[in-house]
Amino acid sequence: MSVVDIDNLRISFATDSGTVEAVRDVSLTVEPGEVLAIVGESGSGKTVTARSILRLLPETATTRGAVVLSRKDGARSHDIVSLPARELREVRGRDAAMVFQEPGSVLNPVYKVGWQIIEGLRAHGGLSKAEAREKAIDVLRRVGIPDPEERIDYYPHQFSGGQKQRIVIAQALVLDPGVIIADEPTTALDVTVQAEILDLLRRCRDEFGAAIVLITHNMGVVADLADRVAVMYQGRIVEEADVATLFRDPKDDYTKQLLGSVPRIGQGSARAVERAARREQGWESATPIVEAKDLQIVYPGRFRQPDFVAVDGVSFSIRPGEVLGLVGESGSGKTTIGRAIAGLTKVSGGSLSVLGTEMNGVKERAFRPVRERIGFVFQDPATSFNPLLTIAQAVAEPLIVHGRHKDLAGARKRVDDLLESVQLPKAFGDRYPHELSGGQRQRASLARSLALFPELLIADEPTSALDVSVQAKVLELFEDLQRELGFAALFISHDLAVVDLLADRIAVLYRGQLVEEGTGEQVLGAPQHPYTQRLLASLPVPDPEEQARRRHEWERLRTV
């Protein structure tokens, strides 16, 4: 008997501009202990479909069809669409539970994590405080939180991103539901933490016997975890198959396009050779635009805490027109180095020369003329744009601040040219950031960073939050602009396949130290350092058979 049976589901939303059909005639089943992946680009309806299992939809939604949810033991079934609110509250958490995309926004910052897990236990079962606490400690231990007896009394901000995701999974598991709905559970995590969370989800299925509905745009994650795959496009299921069949022989054109958009390790070698061939002779001996020698960046400790060394003795250089890829897990010091180059973080020791200016001890007055020669693309364009400014005003801001134009009217032609150069219609300049999709916002962010024709561009995880088809377009755009404008770039990412596509050289950071540097062929083809080997094995690839081999290699390296 299926734990979830969706039949002819149709969901529409009432908006100011009329009714929007988000899900159209979707039928799906999820068997006990099965992992069903629902994939598709942003706006395809995959999250709305999955949320309908728990009826976690806004009041503006109208739902038609049937969503039948069954208990793990098959004792009871409910049609969620017509279930009264009181009974729905009993079903949530016990029969089905949700793991949300961003754990930071799910966990209440003012309550201890133990209290937040115990709250669900006490609401659904007649457990005493002591029994509920014991069960919460047990589930934290099972999801891999160290010292759970002590850390049950910690607040969310005292955990790393990966640990927060484990706590959210513990919340979902504590009532032993028949199905867990995991909405992009690894999107914001680096590859090493992602591999651990995927391993944990696999254990949820094997040890707890839970079925999993996995919503993702990462085809490598699908190959690693899923048994069956449903591909959604514009609110409809265009293809459904077991994971091996879908990757080996996709039928629908959209599925083929989705798989073709996924960057793969090894694709970048030929592109790096082409880029090198286009450069003028002697470029390798040109004066570097950025040169670091024994760079050290220390954050001073507060409240009697010791100093934190974020970057420790790092040396590298970036020559004119060259792209250096900086990779490593969260907390390795990648963003700190990018911010130091842009003059946003102070250098503590060693030497960092940027466009001929020494950053160690530099004064803001001396650095200001240099700053306009540097562009910065931030990780999350939604938070880097002022929500009160239109896109045109935001893109024009550097032009006005640095005195190239007096006001928006004077800068408008340049702004329109910039928007068209990043393949956005110039009419988008009159829209506000919330009116653009994630991919469109990132293109606008790229346009803003190129406004002053920079000699150096710092791109900090510019594609980490984008789905694969949008990511492929943004990466292609970045490469075209770099070829056309010839700027040097520091490309920061935790996705090795993305870095391989764009970078001439790759530098690997681990705990603030540079452990390996070389061309993509050297670093990714024959990694020397154990951390680089582990990083490479952590990256899921869109091929179920190859991914199974890589998973065994990752498990072996982890035990070593």
Who wins on pLDDT, 265 or 32?
A: 32
Residue 541 lies in a domain: no
Over range 235-262, report the average pLDDT.
90
Under a CB-based contact definition with an 8 Å cutoff, are residues 154 and 8 in contact?
A: no
Tell me how far apart the alpha carbons of residues 413 and 65 are, in angstroms, rounded to a whole number: 51
What's the CA gap between 25 and 63, in Å, rounded?
11
CB 183 within 8 A of CB 214: no
Provide the 8-state DSSP code for 280. P
Q: Is position 549 within any domain?
A: no
Buried b (16+ CB within 10 A) or exposed e, 432-465: ebeebebbbbbbbbbbbbbbbebbbbbbbbbbbb
Are residues 278 and 368 located together in one domain of the fold? Answer: yes
Pairing of the two strands 349-354 and 357-358: antiparallel
Q: How long is the chain?
A: 560
| Mean pLDDT value across the chain | 87
290 sits in which H/E element: strand 290-299
The Cα 296–Cα 314 span in angstroms is: 7
**Which of 176, 198, 232 represents a domain boundary (last residue)?**
176
| pLDDT at residue 465 in the model | 67
* Most trustworthy range by pLDDT among 97-111, 237-251, 515-529: 237-251
Mean pLDDT (whole number) for 386-400: 92
Tally: H helices and E strands in the chain: 23, 20
| Residue 188: pLDDT over 70 | no
- CATH classification of the domain holding 510: 3.40.50.300
**pLDDT over 80 (residue 508):** yes
Please count the other Cβ atoms lying within 10 Å of the Cβ belonging to residue 264.
14
Asked if residue 357 is part of any domain, the answer here is yes
**DSSP characters over 156-169:** GGGS-HHHHHHHHH
Are residue 170 and residue 128 in the same domain, yes or no? yes
**% of the chain with per-residue pLDDT over 90:** 31
Q: Both tokens of residue 552?
A: 């065994």
Residues 140 and 148 sit within 8 Å (Cβ to Cβ)? yes
Tokens of 348: 């503590």
The verdict on 340 and 411 lying in the same domain is: no
Phi–psi pair at 367, nearest 5 degrees: -85, -20
Integer-rounded Cα radius of gyration of the chain: 25
Whether 90 and 189 map to the same domain: the answer is yes
State the Cα–Cα distance between residues 23 and 80, nearest whole angstrom: 16
**Ramachandran category for residue 551: left, alpha or beta (phi over 0 → left; psi -120 to 50 → alpha):** alpha
Whether 350 and 468 share a structural domain? yes
Residues 307 and 368 in one domain: yes
HSE-CB of 75 using CA atoms within 13 angstroms? 7
Pair (152, 72) in one structural domain: no
End-to-end CA distance of the chain: 42
Name the percent of the chain lying above pLDDT 70: 99
- Assess whether pLDDT exceeds 90 at residue 213: yes
537 located within any domain: no
The answer to whether residues 288 and 313 belong to one domain is yes
Quote the number of domains for the chain: 4
Is the pLDDT at 128 greater than 90, yes or no? no
pLDDT of residue 560: 67
Q: In what order do the strands lie in the sheet with 236-242?
A: 96-99, 179-183, 211-216, 35-39, 228-233, 236-242
325 DSSP assignment: E
Last residue of a domain, one of 410, 427, 453: 453
Judge whether 170 and 139 are in contact, CB under 8 Å. yes
Residue 382 inside a domain? The answer is no
**Token digits of residue 451:** 């406004």
Read off the pTM: 0.80
Does a structural domain hold residue 221? yes
Q: What is the separation of C-alpha 47 from the centre of its chain, rounded to a whole number of angstroms?
A: 16
Does residue 189 register a pLDDT over 80?
Answer: no
Same domain, 281 and 364: yes
Q: Is residue 61 part of a domain?
A: yes
Sorting pLDDT into bands at 50, 70 and 90, what band is 149?
Answer: very high
Q: Do the beta carbons of residue 278 and residue 477 sit within 8 Å?
A: no
Per the model's pLDDT, the better-predicted residue between 99 and 280 turns out to be 99
Residue 142 has pLDDT above 80, yes or no: yes
Asked if residue 209 and residue 170 are part of one domain, the reply reads no
> Which pLDDT score, from 0 to 100, does residue 138 have?
92
Contact yes or no for 184/225 (Cβ under 8 A): no
Q: Which of 396-400, 461-465, 552-556 has the lowest mean pLDDT?
A: 461-465
pLDDT tens readout for residues 89-123: 888 888 899 988 778 778 999 999 999 999 888 88
Are residues 521 and 401 part of one domain?
Answer: no
| Final residue before a domain boundary, out of 199, 233, 260 | 260
Can you tell me the distance from the alpha carbon of 87 to that of 176, in angstroms, rounded to the nearest whole number? 18
Domain with 164 in it: 104-176
Least confident of 161-165, 283-287, 325-329, 418-422: 283-287
Interatomic CA distance for residues 392 and 415, integer angstroms: 6
Interior/surface letters 338-356, b for 16+ CB within 10 angstroms, e for the rest: bbbbbbebebbebebbbbe
pLDDT at 245: 93
Average pLDDT over residues 492-499: 84
Helix (H) or strand (E) holding 556: helix 544-559
383 domain residue, yes or no: no
pLDDT of residue 305: 80
Find out whether 523 and 349 touch, Cβ atoms under 8 Å: no
Q: Tokens 């690894």 belong to which residue? A: 186
Query: Is there a single domain that holds both residue 172 and residue 200?
Result: no
